[in-house]
Structure 1
Amino acid sequence: MIQSGAGAAMSVSLPGVDVTTANIDQMVFDSRWSGHQFFASGILDSSQDSVATFFFPSTLDAVPFLAAYTDTNITLAPGSQYLGFTNFRGNSSDYWVYAQVTTSSLQFRFKFGNQVGRLYYALFRRIAG
């Protein structure tokens, strides 16, 4: 859930738990926690294992927290299937959804047949101290 305005927040609950009523032990992430601060958000597209990169404006002192999901087929059927980060090899099939976060960039690699994958992401940096 993302709220805007004076009480802006982004919250993610465990699967099957309503984010609006979740207890703290049922939350995966809540931007109101003091440990992380919003840094950047955006979209990266990749196909056939190509590397899509977002370079940070400056190098951070620690690797940021990544919240993301992938739309697996933005060219033919957008919104028809979403994947988290995964890989599979077998039964004459290879596919993967991969992201790497460093102190200076986010890289996204996608291979799922001839489809184009789109990564929707938000990055949160650690607050010093």
Structure 2
Amino acid sequence: MPEEERNKVMVNQKMFLKQMVEMELEKVNKLEKGNRELEIGMAMNHFIAGKPLNDMQFTDLKEMRRMIEEKLKEFEANIKSWKEELAKMNQLFGAQPVTTVAGENIQNVMQMVPWSMWDVPTKSS
């Protein structure tokens, strides 16, 4: 094999190995990020259970705040989507728009449901 061809093969092998190493590093980074989120999630669960956050560092608290804000955005997006779906259902069934589920508007929700509690089949039926 001529010298020039051997150099090309070496370059190709080096590039291949470099790409493989980069791909594995990406996997490691994703796993580290996932583990970090699990750790912060566990710390949040401990806090919710009443345990203090005294041993957490400032960076951990910042990460916890970021995760909470992300979850809040997800919840807000879900609520918006549900409200839009509810509005579409109201249009289909001709019901009055429901602004809340509590208090006087519960009747509106009940009117939207096409069946009553008594119509639900049970195992004994």
Normalised TM-score (structure 2): 0.21
Normalised TM-score (structure 1): 0.20
More strand as a share of residues: 1
Query: Which structure exhibits the higher relative contact order, with contacts defined as CA atoms closer than 8 Å and separated by 6 or more residues?
Result: 1
